[in-house]
């Protein structure tokens, strides 16, 4: 193999290792995601993620924020991993009383 080719492969592997290290270090520092962050990671709209939270399709918790008493949804790193491995939780069935 030409030496140029090996040098290019070594440089590419170093860049890949740097990116992996950056991703791994960044993951350890964050324990919860906002709906916008979660949406960007899973390539969905923030509205969709908020609806999943509201309907119980993903495990999320409300936290106080500066916008009134409603709070905002946060999603844990563990839930992101669960979602990536298993997908959405089943839709909760609600009973509707017949009229």
C-beta neighbour count of 34 within 10 angstroms: 16
Quick one: which of 26, 34, 43 has its CA closest to 75? 34
Q: Are residues 51 and 72 in the same domain?
A: yes
Residue 17's pLDDT is 85
Residue 98 resides in a domain: no
d(CA 47, CA 65): 18
Query: How big is the CA angle at 57 (ends 56 and 62), to the nearest 5 degrees?
Result: 45
pLDDT of 92 higher than 80: no
User: What average pLDDT score do residues 38-58 get?
Assistant: 93
pTM: 0.64
Domain, as residue range, for 10: 1-30
> 48 lies in a domain?
yes
Q: Quote the pLDDT of residue 20.
A: 75
Give me the pLDDT at residue 91, please.
85
Rounded (5°) CA angle 50-85-77: 55
How many domains is the chain built from?
2
């Amino acid at each position: 193999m030409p030496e140029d080719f090996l040098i290019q492969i070594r440089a590419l592997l170093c860049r890949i290792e740097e990116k992996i290290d950056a991703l791994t270090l960044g993951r350890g520092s964050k324990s919860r995601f906002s709906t916008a962050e979660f949406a960007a990671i899973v390539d969905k709209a923030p509205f969709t993620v908020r609806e999943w939270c509201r309907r119980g399709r993903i495990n999320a918790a409300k936290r106080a924020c500066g916008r009134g008493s409603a709070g905002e949804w946060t999603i844990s790193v563990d839930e992101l991993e669960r979602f990536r491995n298993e997908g959405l939780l089943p839709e909760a069935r609600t009973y509707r009383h017949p009229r």
